[in-house]
Each structure stands twice: as C-alpha cells, then as structure tokens.
Structure 1
Amino acid sequence: MGVPYSKSLLYDDEHEAYKKAFPDQFRYDYAVSREQKNAAGQKMYIQTKMAEYAEELWDLMQDEKTHVYMCGLKGMESGMAECFGPIAEKNGLVWTEFAKAMKMLGWFLPWTPV
C-alpha cells in the first residue's frame, strides 16, 4: 500500500489480522512517500517498493490463483513496466502483452483512479 503519511494507512488492523490468520499466504508492505526513502535517498513510492520484491512478485504472477489489485494514478503504469519489463523479457515475454493478458483473464486490475 502506498500513502503519503503513515497516519493515512488504510485497513491496517485488517491487514494485521490477515497476516496473523494466514502467515504463509498473506503479506503486505507499505510505501510511505513523505516518511520513507528508497536506497537512492528519494521518496518511497509503491513502484519502488514493488521493485524490492520484483522477482518474488513476478513468480506469484505466474500462478493463475494470484490476483493483483492496483489502485492509484495512471502514472504508476510506467513504474510497473520499469519494474517488470526486464523480468518479463528475461522470461521471453513482453510486459505490456503479459499485463494485458492478465487484465483480460481478470487476474490484474490496475490503475483504478483514486
């Protein structure tokens, strides 16, 4: 989840409950842009946080039981391509085509305007 300030975190109690109830199946992380910095000392955005887990997320996206929900600005799309484009290419795929296929299958519901 990405938010500007930690006081803006949504559903934190619910996330903690899911994590406790399903420790092997549920994990979450936050990108708090006005309070955290990435390795380069810049604001921590959700795309940057996702890049930290890119290989693991890519592996999860290969499983048809995985659903990815993104909510945010359309501008996040380029960050996703930057994060997953090289991994997709390494696996003989084109990220834009892969993401489009996931959308068509209902696995990937990105960029819902906030």
Structure 2
Amino acid sequence: SQLATGTGIAPFRSFLWKMFFEQHEDYKFNGLAWLFLGVPTSDTLLYKEEFEKMVEIGGENFRLDFAVSREQTNAAGEKMYIQTRMAEYKEELWELLKKDNTYVYMCGLKGMEKGIDDIMVDLAAKDGIDWIDYKKQLKKAEQWNVEVY
C-alpha cells in the first residue's frame, strides 16, 4: 500500500512507473499495489491521468483511491482524508497487513499516521493484537515505512 498527501506522491510515482510502465524481460509485477492519494481539491490531483492509465494496464494488480478533502465526504458526512477513505476498506487492509509480504509506504502530512492508527487499533484488538506493538514489528521488518512532516 502506498499512502500519500500532495507532493508526498513523488517517491511512489517512480515505484508505480517501474511496476506498470517499464517493460523488463526478467520481471513482471504480479502483486497488488494500492495507492491512496489525498489532496484538498480535485484540481490538485497530481498525475491523475497517469495513475488512471496504470489502473488500465495493471488490472487487478493496481488499485487507486483518491481522497479529496474539500470536495468529498464519507457516509457520515465527514471530510474525506486518506484515513477516511482507508476506513472504507479497513477489514481488507487489516487482512493485508497481517501478511508478511505487505509493505506500507506513507509520505505526507503527519496527521495521516494518527488517523490510520485510530482505524487499526480496533481491528487489531479484534484479533487480540496490540496495534502499536504490531506496528513496531512491521517497522522492524521494514514493512511499515513512514516519512511524515
């Protein structure tokens, strides 16, 4: 999973470009890349057409979700931030996070991480897991990578 706000998308763009646009004889990406991109307004969605083209090329290997905070709301009428959008898929995301081949890259605004922690605490607890401890394990295994400011 890749989570980015605004210009935090830059490092992920190169990962995704390599996965879906570059042709390599000895490598074809066959996992799942899932990008959650959050911006304030739809006219600030960087690389939108490029990412949509990746969806076409990637098929089931690429999922794309936008969170446009000043234009979208969830069912409860709350502003649509990355963590709000992720909450719509929280059970599926938790199942992915329990796999040892899931890697999360988060880059952007600091508030995003707390929002995601808030979602995961309850999900992990249902499985008898302390989310904060589990997240530390993910970090140690280099599966949870965060660059927030």
The question of a shared fold, defined as TM-score above 0.5 by the shorter chain, is answered with: yes
The farther-off stretch of 40-49 and 67-76 is: 67-76
Mapped pair 1:95 → 2:125: no
The aligned length equals 113
In 1: Cα distance, 2:48 partner to 2:99 partner: 26
Distance 1:11 1:102, change over 3 A: farther
Mapped pair 1:38 → 2:74: yes
Question: What secondary structure sits across from 2:71 in the alignment?
Answer: coil
Residues 64-97 of structure 1, C-alpha deviations (whole Å, 9 max, x = no match): 2222111222222221121111111111211111
Q: 1:78 aligns with which of 114, 121, 137?
A: 114
Q: 2:91 aligns with which of 31, 44, 55?
A: 55
Instruction: Select the structure of larger CA radius of gyration.
Output: 2
2:51 is aligned to 15
TM-score by length of 1: 0.88
Deviation at 1:112, TM superposition (A): 2.5
Gaps of 5+ in 2: 1-36
Distance 1:50 1:97, change over 3 A: same
2:101 is aligned to 65
Q: Report the aligned-residue RMSD.
A: 1.4
The farther-off stretch of 98-107 and 49-58 is: 98-107
Gaps of 5+ in 1: none
In 2: Cα distance, 1:57 partner to 1:79 partner: 14
Question: What secondary structure sits across from 1:63 in the alignment?
Answer: coil
